[in-house]
Every structure is written in structure tokens, then in C-alpha cells.
Amino acid sequence: MRRYISIGAVLLIMVMVHFDWHLGRGGHHHHRLSFDWPYHWVTGLVSFFLLALFCARKWPENVARAALLNGVLGLFAGQIVEPMLEVVGYRAPMTSVFSAERWHVFAQFAIAAAVGLIVGIGVVWARRQRRDPQGV
């Protein structure tokens, strides 16, 4: 399993989860960079589509496993680890860091990410079928 992990990919997904939080959270926050963009989930769709393409180049023999592993680790890092660092670093209360709104924004990101990953793996599969139609 460990050979299918890319620290760079996991960190990039983590950053995209955090970036998406800024794009999606409502303007009622007293934080800067709250955009309340209703289409923030597009970042999840595109990020995971590109993750599938990246994994196809790096691990062509097992694209789905590598993409799922890196994606799940990145989602965990972005939604759990990074906010915990906010709790520790900024001494923010956990209830404000792990708000219902944050989970709602994350759920939208994750659903779009799943779609992006499926489409990305489908594109990889289709390109391989076109290149080698007999599977030889």
C-alpha cells in the first residue's frame, strides 16, 4: 500500500480541501477570504479528475487503488488534520473549527471529488482501450 502513496498528491489534496473551505464558506464569518461561492465544489471535481490522471502516469498498473488511497488520505488531512492544526495553533474552539457549515462544504467537495475521480479513471480506461482494443 505504501508504494502507492505520493506525499505531494496528498498534500495538494489537503490544500484543495482547505482552499475549497474558503471558497464555500458563507460571508457571515468574521474571517477574511470567505467567498460564499455556490460552485466551490468544482475544485473537488477538477482536483480528483487530475489526481486520477496523475496516478495513471505514476502507477499505471493500479490507477484506482493509488487514486483512492491518495484521495482518502488527502481528504482526511484536509478535513481533520488541518483544522486540528488551527485548533492547536490559533487556540480556536473545536466547535467553531469543526462547524456544521464546514462539514456541509466538505460533503459537497467530497461528492464532486468522487465524480471527478470516477470520470478520471474512466478517461484513463477509455484511452487505454483505444490504444489497445484487444487488451493484449
Residue 30 has pLDDT above 70, yes or no: no
- Residue 111: Cβ within 10 Å count: 13
pLDDT in tens, 68-89: 999 999 999 999 999 999 999 9
Question: Which pLDDT score, from 0 to 100, does residue 135 have?
Answer: 57
Longest dimension (CA), the chain: 59
Q: pTM of the prediction?
A: 0.92
**What are the extents of the domains in the chain?**
2-131
